[in-house]
Amino acid sequence: MSEYKFYGWETATMRDKNNLTPRNYYDILSEIWCADTCAPRMRDKWSSENKTLGQCSVTAFLIKEFFGGKVYGILRSGGNYHCFNIVDGCVFDLTSEQFGNEILDYNNCTEQFSSVHFAKEEKHMRYEYLKAKVEARVAEILNSNT
């Protein structure tokens, strides 16, 4: 079994229409996250050792497509939001590892909307790129299981 460190991994056990859990998507995303999917303002600090850096909004909104629920944001210094998911009362954050040992407060956060986040064409393009890569990998996994 993989060792997970993202926030909420212990309870992120719901399944989507493909019978995959958020943990499964974390494994898939860990193979896909790259500098090209990272927020441009953080790209110079992105590395394979910190794959989740700058990946939060595109990841959270993609996970929402698979599981439903809502995306929320933790206001960070500088006015940006760190995005995470809440699905059926379960809070999980596939990109929390980027903060190392910093403890984030997932309470009383603001709901985030794709219409706002994807108003930036660059971010929408990163999302579409990530989505295409994840869907292709999911199709490979499902085809190998038949």
pLDDT digits (tens, 9 = 90+) for 88-126: 999 999 999 999 999 999 999 999 999 999 999 999 999
Query: So what's the pLDDT on residue 146?
Result: 66
Global confidence as pTM: 0.95
- The pair of structure tokens assigned to 41 is 């303002």
- Laid out side by side, the sheet with 70-75 consists of 90-92, 81-87, 70-75, 110-112
Q: Strands of 1-129 (E only): list them.
A: 70-75, 81-87, 90-92, 110-112
CA separation for the pair 122, 114 (Å, rounded): 13
Q: How many CA atoms lie within 13 A of 82 on its CB side?
A: 24
User: Where does the pLDDT of residue 145 fall: very low under 50, low under 70, confident under 90, or very high at 90 and above?
Assistant: confident
pLDDT by residue (tens digit) across 42-70?
999 999 999 999 999 999 999 999 999 99
